[in-house]
Structure formats: C-alpha cells, structure tokens
C-alpha cells in the first residue's frame, strides 16, 4: 500500500513541482489549493503526511493546522511559507506541526523532511496526542528578536515545541547575541505569559547580595538585614525567572538553585521556613559551563539539570542572511524614535556593515545603527554615516580583554604604542614607572567601584592584604567614600 501525501498550496507551479518530486518516491499524492478542500481531503483520505502552506485563501495555514489536528491527531504536518517571520515558526511548532520549512524549496531537504515525518506518523499510531492550549503571542518592539536564517529558524521551531513545558532551559551564546530576548520569546509563548517574568544578572551582585536577591532573607540574617526581604523566586511564583550569567553563581547559590529545580522549595537566608514555589527557570551564559565544571567552578549535577533544553545562539558573523533584516529593523525603530524618515541604506554602506566582524553581535550592531540614524542628514544611510562607527568599534574590539585570554601584554601594547615614542624621547626613568602606576591606579579604582568601595572584597580580588590596598589608595590619592 502506498503512503498518502497531501500537498496544500495556492501556487499551481509549486503543486506541480512537488507532485513530480513525490510521485517518483512512491507516494499517493493529493493536491489541494484552499482550506476547505484540504480539510475535506484529510477527513476522507486520512493522509500520513501533509505539506501545508501558511498563506492560503480563506483560512490561514495555521488555522488548518489546528483543525487538521482535531480531525487526525497523528497526521504529520510540514508547514511551509515564503514569509520568514519568527512567530510563524513558533506558532507552527507550538500547535503540533512536525516541521517548518521556508521557500524557495530545497527538494533534497523537503524529501528528507517528508521521509522523517512519515516515520513519525507510522510510529505514533498507538500514541495518544494531547492538544496544547491556544496561545496568541504578542510581540513588542523592545522584546522582538529578528532572524530567519536556517540557524534561527531551527531555534524558533524549538521554542514552539518547548514553550508550554515547565522544563529548565539553558541558553548559551556570546555577549550581545540576544539571550534575554530569546528567554522572553519562550516566556511570551508559554502558558505562564500572564504571570511574572523577572531577570537577574548573576554576575552583577556579590555572593550574599545575590543569594538574598534570589531567595530573600529574614530580619537579622546578616548585618544591615533590618527587615524581612521577599526574594525573586517568591515574587515570581507561577511565572518565569531568567538567570543571566548563571556561571558566575557561587557554590552556595548553585546548591540552593539545584534544590529549587528539583523540589521547587527553599528557605530564606537566616530562616527555617520551607517555601514552596512554582517557577520555571531559564538560565543563560556566555561561557562554557562544561569548562567551568571541569575547573570545579560549577556543579555537575546542576549543569545536567539546567541543560534539559539547550539553545546555542549563533553569533552575528555566522548569520549573514539576517544582517540586512536586522539593519532594516533598527533603521525603522530609530527613525521613528528620532522623528526621521530614513528609507534604508546605500549599497556601499551595506557592504561596509557586511564586512565588519561585529564582535559585540546584535547589541553592537544596534548601537551602531542608532548612532548612524541620529546623525544622518539625508533620507538614506551612506558609507560616510557608517565609516566613523566602524573605526570606533574596531578600536574597541582591538583592546577587548576577552580576546586576550590570559596574556594581556598585547592589549596593553596596543594602548601604549601611540605614546611610546614620546615616553622614550623624554629620557626620564619615571615616565615608564608612571605608566605602570597609572594602570594599577585605574584597576584599583574600577575594582572599588565594582565592589561598592568594600576594601575586603577589593583586596581579595587583587590578591593583596587590606593594609597593602590602603597603602595603594593613599599613594595614588584615590577617593573612597566608605571603607570597611
């Protein structure tokens, strides 16, 4: 018996191409061009697999998808579209589509997808399908994530499949790739979207402060704990919490987080009462957690619990197909913000943008377009609008500490080179000592700011005693508002 394939599209040419492709594969092929005929065919002939276009006359493909699943829950449906929108991919997978493909078709890819969909259909004859609730996701400018490249399409498909589950999610990616935006996309398409969404940067808070921020504390739990504090997990009950830079968590916090994942329970700092919550956890990191596990900085058991569902966000340099989409989106966004009418960018400007490495990823691109739009005097962005920003960003990227690994000599060399000849020509031995002291002073000042002027924390980070640190502060005339 031949396996039955239904193809639904309002383009006769596509129907003809796909019919020729699959009749040669041994399928019995049915062709339909509108929603009502498609649903009637599903009821009458019970196909094993359907290829369904999203944009159809009458009902949309997504409406047919939902209706078809009510008629035959085991039908494997591959959604297709020429409009590469984020939400189409998410909605398709969320409502039970087997796969989502974009036009123009790669016949080899669609043959492979149909073959796998058929295997899924045959294996699911004895599996009961439970329809997921309908959720209409709203996208807002500030939460919008753009991308229709193959890598991003796979991500949107996965979002649609896992959004309504409560499993922990781990998002990995370089800084600026949009990890929080992806977390919000998962949240906005979940059944928790009407409950709180709270984001915490684990690298921005000291150990005790982070533990208090997440789990709360009782009055008197530590110095300055004058009142009881309700933590983010309690505030987020029923909702979703996003833990950015989770790899920076202390071992104590990691242990408490593991317990929350396993039992949805914890105690406030200084308290004995066990508090039960219902919170979905989405964690993100720009470092390798596996490396952190090997270096004993991150718990192996927590790593396994977080990575039940893992997203690897590709850097912008690996998404060239999305670059023009992102630029157009940001031009429109900032044009509206500044009351301008900028219609796009000239080819030379686009070529300049395409050749830039964008080590800061989408965040860097967004800031560059923001500045270009702000200072643009015409109705198109030109190479002259873009060029100064490229030079500025390149200068920043050259001295990025992340790129220097453990050897900062090359970074400091690039910083000192412009003034080196002048230093050498003075023949003053103190000149080079001043450079060394200036660097040390700058590092101490930045560290004190980071540690909120805590001498104990700053000294620990520097690997020196507090007395030595006080000596440096006095020597360099550093202003410290508050000491230990």
Task: Give the pLDDT confidence of 87-108 residue by residue, as tens digits.
Answer: 778 888 878 888 888 888 788 8
Contact (Cβ atoms closer than 8 angstroms) between residue 262 and residue 216: no
Q: Report yes or no: 189 and 160 within 8 Å, Cβ to Cβ.
A: yes
Q: What is the crossing angle of helices 150-162 and 179-188, to 10°?
A: 40
User: Which residue has tokens 């796909």?
Assistant: 18
* Residue 482 pLDDT > 80: no
- Taking the CA atoms of 12, 17, 23 and 25 in sequence, report the sign of the dihedral they define: negative
> Which phi and psi (to 5°) does residue 189 adopt?
-105, 15
Instruction: Say how many Å lie between the first and final Cα of the chain, rounded.
Output: 82
CA distance 236 to 192: 11
Q: What is the pLDDT of residues 310-334, one digit of tens each?
A: 999 999 988 888 888 889 889 988 9
Of 16, 45, 53, 25, which is closest to residue 115 (Cα–Cα)?
Answer: 25
Coil, helix or strand for 266?
Answer: strand
pLDDT at residue number 483: 44
Q: Is the pLDDT of residue 166 over 70?
A: yes
C-alpha triplet 313, 317, 321: angle, nearest 5°: 90
What's the farthest any 2 CA atoms get from each other in the chain? Answer: 94
Asked if the model's pLDDT at residue 408 lies above 70, the reply is: no
From CA 49, how far away is CA 115, in angstroms rounded? 9
Residue 265 has pLDDT above 90, yes or no: yes
Give dist(CA 134, CA 118) in Å, integer.
Answer: 26
Spatial neighbors of 110 by CB under 8 A, at least 6 apart, are: 18, 21, 51, 78, 101
Quick check: 407 pLDDT over 70? no
Q: Inter-axis angle of helices 383-398 and 361-375, to 10 degrees? A: 140
pLDDT at 257: 93
**Helix, strand or coil, per DSSP, at residue 299:** coil
Q: At 309, is the pLDDT very low, low, confident or very high (cuts 50, 70, 90)?
A: very high
Q: Residue 170: what pLDDT?
A: 96
pLDDT at 285 over 90: yes
Q: What are phi and psi of 31, to 5 degrees?
A: -115, 130
C-alpha dihedral (72, 77, 80, 85), degrees to nearest 10: 90
Backbone angles phi and psi of 275, in degrees to 5 = -110, 125
Strand partners, 280: 240
Per-residue confidence band for 467, with pLDDT thresholds at 50, 70 and 90: confident
- Lowest mean pLDDT: which of 63-67, 303-307, 397-401, 444-448? 397-401
More confident residue, 403 or 420: 420
- Contact 316/362 with Cβ under 8 angstroms? yes
Of 35, 63, 154, the C-alpha closest to 102 is 154
| Adjacent-strand bridge partners of 197 | 240
**CA nearest neighbour of 478 among 457, 433, 448, 439:** 448
Give the distance from CA 434 to its chain's centroid.
43
Task: Give dist(CA 390, CA 398) in Å, integer.
Answer: 12
- Mean confidence (pLDDT) of the chain: 82
The long-range contacts involving 247-250, CB below 8 angstroms and separated by at least 24 positions, are 247/202, 247/285, 247/287, 247/289, 247/292, 247/297, 247/298, 248/202, 248/203, 249/202, 249/210, 249/298, 250/207, 250/210, 250/211
Delineate the domains of the chain, giving CATH numbers in brackets. Answer: 4-123 (3.40.50.2300), 165-312 (3.40.50.300), 316-398 (1.10.8.60), 409-476 (1.10.10.60)
The yes-or-no verdict on residue 434 having pLDDT over 90 is: no
Mention every residue, 6+ apart, whose C-beta is less than 8 A from residue 33: 8, 9, 10, 12, 15, 56, 57
- pTM of the predicted structure, to 2 decimals: 0.62
The residue-averaged pLDDT of 439-466 equals 82
Q: Is pLDDT of 292 > 70?
A: yes
Structural tokens at position 478: 């550093």
Q: How far is CA 127 from the centre of its chain?
A: 33
């Amino acid at each position: 018996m031949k396996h039955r394939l239904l193809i639904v599209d309002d383009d006769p040419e596509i129907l003809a191409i796909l019919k020729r492709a699959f009749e040669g594969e041994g399928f019995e092929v049915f062709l339909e061009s509108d929603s009502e005929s498609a649903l009637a065919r599903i009821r009458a002939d019970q196909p094993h697999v359907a290829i369904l276009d999203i944009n159809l006359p009458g009902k949309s493909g997504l409406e047919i998808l939902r209706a078809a699943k009510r008629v035959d829950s085991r039908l494997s449906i591959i959604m297709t579209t020429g409009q590469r929108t984020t939400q189409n991919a998410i909605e398709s997978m969320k409502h039970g589509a087997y796969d989502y493909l974009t036009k123009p078709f790669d016949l080899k890819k669609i043959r492979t997808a149909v073959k796998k969909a058929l295997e899924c259909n045959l294996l699911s004859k004895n599996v009961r399908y439970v329809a997921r609730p309908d959720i209409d996701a709203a996208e807002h400018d500030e939460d919008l994530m753009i991308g229709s490249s193959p890598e991003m399409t796979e991500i949107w498909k996965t979002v649609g499949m896992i959004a309504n589950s409560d499993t922990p999610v781990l998002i990995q990616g370089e800084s600026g790739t949009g990890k929080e935006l992806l977390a919000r996309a998962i949240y906005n398409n979940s059944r928790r979207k009407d409950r709180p969404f709270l984001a915490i940067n684990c690298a921005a808070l000291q150990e005790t402060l982070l533990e208090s921020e997440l789990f709360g504390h009782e009055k008197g739990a530590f110095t300055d704990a004058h009142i009881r504090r309700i933590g983010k997990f309690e505030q987020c009950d029923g909702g979703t919490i996003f833990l950015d830079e989770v790899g920076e968590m202390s071992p104590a916090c990691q242990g408490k987080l593991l317990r929350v994942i396993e039992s949805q329970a914890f105690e406030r700092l200084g308290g004995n009462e066990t508090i039960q919550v219902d919170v979905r956890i989405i964690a993100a990191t720009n470092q390798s957690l596996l490396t952190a596990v090997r270096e004993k900085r991150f718990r192996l058991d927590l790593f396994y619990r977080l990575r039940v569902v893992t997203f690897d966000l590709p850097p912008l340099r690996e998404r060239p197909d999305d670059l023009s989409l992102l630029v157009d989106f940001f031009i429109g966004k900032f044009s509206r913000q500044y009351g301008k009418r900028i219609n796009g960018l000239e080819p030379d400007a686009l070529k300049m943008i395409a050749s830039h490495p964008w080590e800061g990823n989408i965040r860097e691109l967004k800031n560059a377009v923001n500045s270009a739009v702000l200072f643009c005097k015409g109705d198109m962005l030109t190479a002259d609008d873009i060029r100064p920003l490229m030079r500025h960003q390149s200068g920043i990227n050259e001295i990025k500490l992340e790129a220097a690994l453990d050897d900062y000599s090359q970074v400091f060399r690039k910083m000192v080179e412009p003034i080196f000849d002048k230093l050498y020509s003075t023949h003053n031995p103190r000149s080079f000592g001043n450079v060394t002291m200036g660097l040390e002073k700058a590092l101490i000042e930045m560290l004190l700011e980071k540690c909120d002027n805590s001498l104990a924390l700053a000294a620990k980070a520097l690997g020196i005693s507090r007395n030595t640190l006080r000596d440096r502060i006095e020597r360099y005339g550093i202003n410290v508002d508050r000491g230990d």
